[in-house]
Amino acid sequence: MPRAGLTHQSVVREGAQVADDLGWDHLTLAVVAQRLGVSMPGLYKHIGSIDGLRHDVAVHALTAMAQRLESATAGLSGPEALRALAQAYRSFVQHHPGLYTAAMRAPSWIDAEHSSAARSVLRAAYTSLEGYGLTGRDAADAVRAVRASLHGFTTLESSGGFGTPLDLDRSYQRMVDALDGALAMWPRHGSSASRAPDA
Protein backbone atom coordinates (compact mmCIF):
# COMPACT_ATOMS: atom_id res chain seq x y z
CA MET A 1 0.00 0.00 0.00
CA PRO A 2 1.28 3.51 -0.82
CA ARG A 3 2.15 5.65 2.14
CA ALA A 4 -0.41 8.32 2.94
CA GLY A 5 0.73 11.92 2.97
CA LEU A 6 3.76 11.46 0.74
CA THR A 7 5.55 14.77 0.26
CA HIS A 8 8.73 16.08 -1.31
CA GLN A 9 10.32 16.25 2.14
CA SER A 10 9.38 12.68 3.02
CA VAL A 11 10.93 11.50 -0.27
CA VAL A 12 14.15 13.38 0.58
CA ARG A 13 14.18 11.87 4.08
CA GLU A 14 13.79 8.39 2.62
CA GLY A 15 16.55 9.15 0.13
CA ALA A 16 18.77 10.14 3.03
CA GLN A 17 17.98 6.90 4.81
CA VAL A 18 18.76 4.89 1.67
CA ALA A 19 22.11 6.65 1.42
CA ASP A 20 22.95 5.73 5.00
CA ASP A 21 21.63 2.16 4.78
CA LEU A 22 22.95 1.17 1.37
CA GLY A 23 25.57 3.78 0.48
CA TRP A 24 25.47 6.99 -1.54
CA ASP A 25 26.23 5.15 -4.78
CA HIS A 26 23.13 2.98 -4.30
CA LEU A 27 20.71 5.89 -3.97
CA THR A 28 18.29 5.49 -6.89
CA LEU A 29 14.72 6.52 -7.54
CA ALA A 30 13.74 2.86 -7.94
CA VAL A 31 15.00 1.96 -4.47
CA VAL A 32 13.31 4.99 -2.89
CA ALA A 33 10.02 4.25 -4.65
CA GLN A 34 10.12 0.61 -3.52
CA ARG A 35 10.81 1.56 0.09
CA LEU A 36 8.03 4.14 0.07
CA GLY A 37 5.62 1.70 -1.54
CA VAL A 38 4.85 3.90 -4.53
CA SER A 39 5.20 3.54 -8.27
CA MET A 40 7.82 5.49 -10.20
CA PRO A 41 5.13 7.77 -11.70
CA GLY A 42 3.88 8.38 -8.17
CA LEU A 43 7.37 9.28 -7.03
CA TYR A 44 7.86 11.68 -9.94
CA LYS A 45 5.00 13.76 -8.56
CA HIS A 46 7.34 14.74 -5.72
CA ILE A 47 10.84 14.58 -7.19
CA GLY A 48 11.83 15.36 -10.76
CA SER A 49 14.93 13.25 -11.28
CA ILE A 50 17.72 11.35 -9.56
CA ASP A 51 19.91 14.45 -9.90
CA GLY A 52 17.24 16.47 -8.13
CA LEU A 53 16.98 13.90 -5.35
CA ARG A 54 20.76 13.75 -4.90
CA HIS A 55 20.91 17.54 -4.75
CA ASP A 56 18.20 17.71 -2.11
CA VAL A 57 19.73 14.90 -0.05
CA ALA A 58 23.08 16.72 -0.16
CA VAL A 59 21.45 19.91 1.12
CA HIS A 60 19.69 17.88 3.82
CA ALA A 61 23.01 16.27 4.78
CA LEU A 62 24.84 19.58 5.08
CA THR A 63 22.03 21.10 7.12
CA ALA A 64 21.95 18.13 9.49
CA MET A 65 25.73 18.16 9.88
CA ALA A 66 25.81 21.90 10.59
CA GLN A 67 23.11 21.51 13.23
CA ARG A 68 25.02 18.64 14.87
CA LEU A 69 28.26 20.65 15.00
CA GLU A 70 26.58 23.83 16.21
CA SER A 71 24.69 22.00 18.94
CA ALA A 72 27.81 20.20 20.16
CA THR A 73 29.95 23.36 20.37
CA ALA A 74 27.40 25.86 21.65
CA GLY A 75 28.78 27.88 24.57
CA LEU A 76 32.26 26.36 24.29
CA SER A 77 35.53 27.99 23.30
CA GLY A 78 39.15 27.11 22.59
CA PRO A 79 40.23 23.50 23.21
CA GLU A 80 36.81 22.51 24.57
CA ALA A 81 35.10 23.72 21.39
CA LEU A 82 37.65 21.97 19.20
CA ARG A 83 37.23 18.66 21.02
CA ALA A 84 33.43 18.92 20.90
CA LEU A 85 33.60 19.73 17.19
CA ALA A 86 35.86 16.75 16.54
CA GLN A 87 33.65 14.37 18.51
CA ALA A 88 30.48 15.56 16.78
CA TYR A 89 32.16 15.32 13.38
CA ARG A 90 33.29 11.75 13.98
CA SER A 91 29.90 10.76 15.37
CA PHE A 92 28.14 12.13 12.31
CA VAL A 93 30.40 10.14 9.99
CA GLN A 94 29.90 6.96 12.02
CA HIS A 95 26.11 7.23 12.19
CA HIS A 96 25.44 8.77 8.78
CA PRO A 97 28.03 7.46 6.31
CA GLY A 98 25.85 8.05 3.28
CA LEU A 99 24.90 11.55 4.32
CA TYR A 100 28.52 12.36 5.03
CA THR A 101 29.45 11.32 1.50
CA ALA A 102 26.66 13.54 0.20
CA ALA A 103 27.84 16.44 2.37
CA MET A 104 31.35 16.24 0.93
CA ARG A 105 30.17 16.94 -2.62
CA ALA A 106 31.41 20.42 -3.50
CA PRO A 107 28.49 22.63 -4.47
CA SER A 108 28.34 24.79 -7.54
CA TRP A 109 28.58 28.35 -6.26
CA ILE A 110 25.75 29.33 -8.60
CA ASP A 111 23.53 26.93 -6.65
CA ALA A 112 22.41 29.23 -3.84
CA GLU A 113 20.66 26.57 -1.75
CA HIS A 114 23.51 24.07 -1.84
CA SER A 115 26.13 26.77 -1.30
CA SER A 116 24.28 28.21 1.68
CA ALA A 117 24.04 24.77 3.29
CA ALA A 118 27.77 24.18 2.74
CA ARG A 119 28.63 27.54 4.30
CA SER A 120 26.60 26.63 7.38
CA VAL A 121 29.02 23.76 8.08
CA LEU A 122 32.00 26.08 7.58
CA ARG A 123 30.47 28.68 9.90
CA ALA A 124 30.21 26.04 12.62
CA ALA A 125 33.90 25.26 12.16
CA TYR A 126 34.96 28.90 12.17
CA THR A 127 32.89 29.61 15.29
CA SER A 128 34.45 26.64 17.06
CA LEU A 129 37.95 27.99 16.43
CA GLU A 130 37.26 31.61 17.40
CA GLY A 131 38.76 31.01 20.83
CA TYR A 132 42.20 30.67 19.24
CA GLY A 133 42.10 34.30 18.13
CA LEU A 134 42.62 33.56 14.45
CA THR A 135 41.22 35.93 11.83
CA GLY A 136 41.20 36.37 8.06
CA ARG A 137 43.40 34.03 6.05
CA ASP A 138 44.93 32.64 9.24
CA ALA A 139 41.49 31.41 10.29
CA ALA A 140 40.76 30.03 6.81
CA ASP A 141 44.04 28.11 6.75
CA ALA A 142 43.39 26.73 10.23
CA VAL A 143 39.86 25.61 9.35
CA ARG A 144 41.21 23.84 6.28
CA ALA A 145 43.84 22.05 8.36
CA VAL A 146 41.28 20.93 10.95
CA ARG A 147 38.80 19.87 8.29
CA ALA A 148 41.42 17.88 6.38
CA SER A 149 42.55 16.12 9.57
CA LEU A 150 39.07 15.17 10.73
CA HIS A 151 37.98 14.12 7.26
CA GLY A 152 41.11 12.05 6.68
CA PHE A 153 40.86 10.16 9.94
CA THR A 154 37.12 9.52 9.83
CA THR A 155 37.19 8.49 6.17
CA LEU A 156 39.98 6.00 6.79
CA GLU A 157 38.16 4.71 9.85
CA SER A 158 34.83 4.27 8.09
CA SER A 159 36.44 2.47 5.14
CA GLY A 160 38.43 0.09 7.35
CA GLY A 161 41.69 1.76 6.41
CA PHE A 162 43.30 1.34 9.82
CA GLY A 163 44.55 -2.23 9.87
CA THR A 164 46.52 -2.36 13.11
CA PRO A 165 44.71 -3.43 16.30
CA LEU A 166 45.34 -0.17 18.14
CA ASP A 167 42.80 1.94 20.01
CA LEU A 168 41.26 4.29 17.43
CA ASP A 169 39.62 6.44 20.10
CA ARG A 170 43.03 7.12 21.63
CA SER A 171 44.56 7.90 18.25
CA TYR A 172 41.74 10.30 17.40
CA GLN A 173 42.03 12.04 20.76
CA ARG A 174 45.78 12.45 20.33
CA MET A 175 45.29 13.88 16.86
CA VAL A 176 42.83 16.43 18.22
CA ASP A 177 45.26 17.26 21.05
CA ALA A 178 47.92 17.86 18.42
CA LEU A 179 45.56 20.11 16.48
CA ASP A 180 44.91 22.08 19.66
CA GLY A 181 48.65 22.59 20.13
CA ALA A 182 49.09 23.62 16.51
CA LEU A 183 46.21 26.10 16.65
CA ALA A 184 47.53 27.64 19.86
CA MET A 185 50.83 28.36 18.09
CA TRP A 186 49.40 29.07 14.63
CA PRO A 187 51.63 31.57 12.76
CA ARG A 188 49.94 34.94 12.36
CA HIS A 189 50.45 36.69 9.08
CA GLY A 190 48.46 39.79 9.94
CA SER A 191 45.94 39.27 7.17
CA SER A 192 42.84 41.42 7.39
CA ALA A 193 41.07 39.50 4.66
CA SER A 194 37.62 38.17 5.46
CA ARG A 195 36.89 34.51 5.98
CA ALA A 196 37.21 32.40 2.89
CA PRO A 197 33.77 30.92 2.12
CA ASP A 198 35.29 27.84 0.49
CA ALA A 199 37.70 26.87 3.27
Quick one: 37 and 62 in the same domain? no
Cβ proximity of 199 and 144 under 8 Å: yes
Residue 68 lies in a domain: yes
Shared domain for 162 and 123, answered yes or no, is: yes
Mean pLDDT, the chain, whole residue set: 91
Asked whether residue 134 is assigned to any structural domain, the reply reads yes
Does 197 score more than 60 pLDDT? no
Confidence of residue 196 (pLDDT cuts 50, 70, 90): very low
CB 118 within 8 A of CB 165: no
Same domain (yes/no): 142, 77: yes
pLDDT digit string, tens, across residues 26-68: 999 999 999 999 999 889 889 989 999 999 999 999 999 999 9
On whether residue 189 sits in a domain, the answer given is no
List the CATH number of the domain containing 109.
1.10.357.10
Region 114-124 average pLDDT: 94
On the question of pLDDT at 199 being above 70, the answer is: no
Considering 39-48, 92-101, 154-163, the range whose residues carry the highest mean pLDDT is 92-101
Q: What is the pTM of this model?
A: 0.88
Residue 198, domain member (yes or no):
no
Angle between helices 78-95 and 50-73 (to 10 degrees): 150
- Find, among 54, 49, 52, the residue nearest to 25 by Cα: 54
62: containing domain: 56-184
